[in-house]
C-alpha cells in the first residue's frame, strides 16, 4: 500500500494515465487523417511526432527523464492504438448498404493496422529516446 501511495504521490501514474487518455482523441484524429489516400504521409509520420512531443513534456529535473519520456510516448501510442482498433472494429461491424460501403483506402488501412501499430511502437520509442537525449544535451549546454 505504501509503494502504491508513493507511486501516485510523485505524479508518474497520473502522467501515464493522462498520456493514455490524450492518445485516445489523437487516435480518432489519426483515423480521420488516414482515411484519404492524399494524407498518407501525416499518417505515417504520426508515431514520430508522438515520440518527439512526449520528450518535451518531461522535465530534466526528473529522476529518470528518458524512461519517463519512453513511458509517456508508449502509453500515448497505446491510446492511439486502442482508438484505431475500436474505430476499425466499428467500421467492420456496420453493414454495407447502398452507398455506405467502406472505401478501398480504409479497408487497406484496416488490414495493415496491426502492422502499423507494431511498427509505430518502434518508431515512437526511438523518436522519444532520441529527442529526450537531444533535449538533455541541449539543456546541459545552456
Name the one residue in this structure whose C-alpha cell is 482508438. 83
Per-residue pLDDT, averaged over 1-20, amounts to: 72
Distance between CA atoms of residues 58 and 139, nearest Å: 13
Which cell goes with 4?
502504491
Per-residue pLDDT, averaged over 61-81, amounts to: 87
CB count, 10 Å around CB of 126?
15
Asked if pLDDT for residue 114 goes beyond 60, the answer is yes
* Maximum distance among all Cα pairs of the chain, rounded to whole angstroms: 63
Per-residue pLDDT, averaged over 118-132, amounts to: 92
Distance between CA atoms of residues 52 and 41, nearest Å: 17
Amino acid at each position: 500500500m505504501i509503494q502504491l501511495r508513493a507511486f501516485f504521490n510523485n505524479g508518474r501514474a497520473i502522467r501515464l494515465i493522462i498520456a493514455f487518455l490524450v492518445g485516445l482523441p489523437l487516435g480518432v484524429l489519426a483515423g480521420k487523417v488516414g482515411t484519404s489516400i492524399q494524407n498518407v504521409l501525416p499518417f505515417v509520420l504520426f508515431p514520430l511526432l508522438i515520440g518527439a512531443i512526449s520528450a518535451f513534456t518531461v522535465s530534466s529535473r526528473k529522476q529518470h527523464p528518458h524512461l519517463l519520456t519512453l513511458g509517456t510516448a508508449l502509453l500515448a501510442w497505446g491510446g492511439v492504438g486502442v482508438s484505431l482498433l475500436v474505430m476499425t472494429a466499428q467500421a467492420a461491424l456496420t453493414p454495407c448498404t447502398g452507398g455506405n460501403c467502406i472505401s478501398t483506402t480504409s479497408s487497406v488501412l484496416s488490414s495493415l493496422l496491426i502492422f502499423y501499430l507494431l511498427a509505430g511502437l518502434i518508431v515512437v520509442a526511438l523518436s522519444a529516446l532520441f529527442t529526450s537525449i537531444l533535449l538533455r544535451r541541449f539543456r546541459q549546454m545552456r
